[in-house]
């Protein structure tokens, strides 16, 4: 037998022994996996992203992830970046400059009506008359004014209030995506103009 054959025979026996649990007495536990070949394949030493690790010497404080770079916008979330702060100046700027990016269509307006009836009607009422069921039952005071009495409201100011809230009204940013808020804005404007010269522009689409 050549030296190469002897080497291959010994190697085969070692591999067979390793696969059967290594040297020593035969295994009696059928659930014992024996010696695991290449343990890192089974127990990968990956970092948990939201934890700190003493082994992670690359990031500050051993954190496994770093905060995003300033002004980073997650993919597909560009519309979630709202530039107007929750201040009086921010409200005034939104009121003056912010415009609805959605076209006024029957589909958008009807979806705005549906969302309004889910999130807004309980305080603002079916027609925006500040007489929702929670107001009628005395759970909350009525909103300051009826929509039809607020010609000063613009699409920008309505969106700003939905986003941040105002007075007793809380923010609805966690319930409504920006596109949904804009659809609600359209329906609030329909209620705002239900009895004036712009009424037909909105209500003809809701028929």
Give the Cα separation of 162 and 51 in Å (integer): 35
Give the Cα separation of 34 and 43 in Å (integer): 15
What count of other Cβ atoms lies within 10 Å of the Cβ of residue 94? Answer: 24
pLDDT in single tens digits along all 207 residues of the chain: 566 666 667 667 666 655 554 444 555 677 776 777 777 777 777 777 788 877 788 888 888 888 888 888 888 888 888 999 999 999 999 999 999 999 999 999 999 999 999 999 999 999 999 999 999 999 888 888 888 888 889 999 999 999 999 988 999 999 999 999 999 999 999 999 988 888 888 999 988
CA distance readout (Å), 94 to 32, 91, 117, 144: 67, 5, 25, 20
Q: What is the CA radius of gyration of the chain?
A: 33
pTM for this prediction: 0.68
Q: Report the SS3 class of residue 25.
A: coil
Of 28, 173, 202, 179, nearest to 86 (Cα)? 173
Give the Cα separation of 173 and 56 in Å (integer): 36
What count of other Cβ atoms lies within 10 Å of the Cβ of residue 93? Answer: 17
């Amino acid at each position: 037998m050549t030296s190469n054959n002897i080497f291959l025979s010994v190697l085969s026996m070692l591999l067979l022994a390793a696969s059967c649990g290594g040297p020593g007495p035969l295994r009696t536990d059928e659930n014992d996996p024996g010696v695991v070949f290449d343990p890192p394949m089974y127990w990968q030493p990956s970092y948990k992203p939201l934890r700190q690790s003493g082994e992670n010497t690359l990031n500050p404080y051993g954190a496994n992830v770093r905060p995003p770079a300033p002004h980073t916008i997650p993919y597909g979330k560009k519309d979630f970046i709202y530039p107007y702060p929750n201040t009086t100046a921010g409200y005034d700027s939104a009121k003056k400059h912010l415009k609805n990016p959605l076209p006024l269509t029957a589909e958008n307006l009807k979806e705005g009506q549906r969302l309004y009836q889910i999130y807004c009607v309980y305080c603002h009422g079916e027609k925006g008359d500040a007489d929702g069921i929670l107001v009628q039952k005395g759970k909350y005071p009525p909103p300051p004014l009826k929509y039809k009495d607020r010609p000063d409201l613009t699409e920008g100011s309505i969106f700003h209030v939905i986003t941040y809230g105002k007075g007793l009204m809380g923010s609805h940013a966690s319930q409504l995506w920006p596109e949904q808020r804009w659809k609600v804005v359209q329906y609030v404007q329909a209620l705002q103009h239900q009895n004036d010269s712009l009424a037909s522009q909105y209500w003809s689409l809701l028929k």
